[in-house]
Amino acid sequence: MTEEVQPPDLDARSIGARRLHPWSPVIDLAVWLTRLWPPLLLVASRPNGRLLVVAVLLVVLVVRAVAWWRTTWTYDGDELTVASGVWNRTVRRVPVARLQQVEVVRKLRHQLFGVATVRLQLAHDGDGGDVVLEVLSVADADRLRNGLERRRRAVSFGDDAVAHVPAPPAHELLRLGPRLLALGGLTGASLLLVPTGMVALLSTLDDLGLGDDAEDLAGRLPAVGGAVIAVLLAVAAAPTLMVVRFHGFRLARRTTDLVLERGVFERRSSTVPLARLQLVRLHRNLVRRWLHLGSVDLATSGRATAEGTGSADDAVPVARWHDVLAVAEVALAPRRLVVADRRAVPAATRRLVRRRTLVAVVLTGWVPFVWAPATVGVGAFVALVIVVARAAGRARRHGIGAELVVVETGLIVWTRTFVPLDRVQSWRITESPFQRRAGLSTVSIHLAGTSGRRTVRVVDASSAQRDALLVAIEQRRSG
């Protein structure tokens, strides 16, 4: 087996204070142009407006050039120091031991200029945020990332853990092809986001003065034809966006880390330290369940975003179910996966049915009084809600192992969440008056981070289930 060739690491003996890449002011100007083009276009249409636009762009370029000159970064082998600011100087020090993840991002503008951005994700405490170095040369970005990762592993596991770095092909866990990604786009939530994008497009056309033309064109189409066109656009756009966003997706393991790479116009390379992993969450909807597909979220104690629970895109967007389970097993190793064999008690299912039935009656119960023929439809809707609620209640379950807790919820969108017991920060027991009457409780397990995504809940647990969960958590913490 051959070893992976790594760029040389950065240390105190080989590097002092450095500036960002010289292209940084130009790239900053390009970002400003994408944000300010509407007012600049309006100004350019005025007399002498073009000269004014050129003057504004030159001023912005000079300001960004001064900011670039005043920004330096240093890595001494133990911490990264970033100094920035023209009038108000800011010096930020990032100890390697506090790093959660290191990500190298190359958006289209970075690829055009041959540069990259390095994002350092820290343990999120609601203040400070991540550290971003934009823009570095690709060589500096790779060397910095490798130096930070090797030093972080050495701090966490000792020098023996970083003595050998296996070649990626020997430890590649998953690679997604365009066909599977397209299928994931057709069966995932992105299919529902396309109509929202169409509304945003119409709003943009209206801002550009083309709204009347678009409205006139839409008025010429019959209602059925317009609906068919909208569906076809969604069906075509969702898989295309998925393929472009996750093109070349590859998940590999390098010693104590997972490495994710993906993207065309925005190429990302993220490192997920297994030692910092807080939870692993598996997802399946009804369609993907029928097709034996699923997805995985990998969460560290850094910030949570809408794209993933760890950091942006720290997830497997779609994969065959056996691959999903294999990724979860590797991510949680050496802990053994736990089966969710503790079902919700009948009282919990009855409570869920009552709550959802009450909501359905409140929302639709007034309809028969306004339009009597709708009585049958309302009754059928309430009956359907009852059936779905009973099934959802029976789908709630959890399991307790020596090192893991697993929680399963959902019917239409089903999730299975694995929580390492040694990652639990705190827990909370809540009981509403209705829960106390039924002898039920909600156990909330809190992990590192402040987002609600860092909380795993076992809803409507019986007193025996609650006590078993607390005993498992206490034993692991005391052990």
What is the reported pLDDT for 14?
46
What is the reported pLDDT for 7?
43
Joined tokens for residue 257: 């880390």
Sign of the alpha-carbon torsion through 420, 422, 425, 430: positive
What is the reported pLDDT for 476?
78
Average pLDDT over residues 344-361: 95
By C-alpha distance, which of 412, 362, 408 is closest to 382? 362
**Angstrom distances, CA of residue 190 to CA of 186, 239, 240, 241, 299:** 8, 8, 10, 8, 21
**Angstrom distances, CA of residue 306 to CA of 105, 247, 301, 314:** 18, 20, 15, 11
Measure the CA angle with vertex 248, ends 246 and 251; round to 5°: 90
How far apart CA 367 and CA 161 sit, in angstroms, is 67
How far apart CA 36 and CA 34 sit, in angstroms, is 6
Beta-strand runs (E) in 85-130: 90-95, 99-106, 115-122
Burial class (CB in 10 A: 0-12, 13-18, 19+), 399: middle
More confidently predicted of 192 and 447: 447
Q: Report whether 67 contacts 82 (CB < 8 A).
A: no
* pLDDT (tens digit per residue) in 21-64: 998 888 887 777 777 766 766 666 677 777 877 787 888 888 88
How far apart CA 79 and CA 181 sit, in angstroms, is 39
DSSP readout, 239-301? HHHHHHHHTT-EEEEETTEEEEEE-SSSEEEEEEEGGGEEEEEEEEEHHHHHTTEEEEEEEES
**Residue 109: HSE in the Cβ half-sphere, 13 Å Cα cutoff:** 16
* pLDDT (tens digit per residue) in 288-298: 999 999 999 98
pLDDT averaged over the chain?
80
What is the reported pLDDT for 394?
93
Average pLDDT over residues 84-105: 84
Question: In the chain, pLDDT over 70 holds for what percent of residues?
Answer: 76
- Whether the predicted pLDDT of 8 surpasses 70: no
Bridging pattern class, strands 267-273 and 257-262: antiparallel
- The lowest-confidence range among 22-36, 114-128, 156-170, 344-358 is 156-170
- Whether the predicted pLDDT of 107 surpasses 80: yes
What is the reported pLDDT for 193?
57
Say which residues have a Cβ less than 8 Å from residue 315's Cβ, sequence separation at least 6.
295, 296, 297, 298, 307, 308, 309
What is the reported pLDDT for 157?
62
- Whether the predicted pLDDT of 263 surpasses 90: no
- Whether the predicted pLDDT of 1 surpasses 70: no
How far apart CA 420 and CA 404 sit, in angstroms, is 5
- The lowest-confidence range among 89-103, 113-127, 147-161, 332-346 is 147-161
Enclosing H/E stretch for 381 = helix 375-395
Enclosing H/E stretch for 80 = strand 79-84
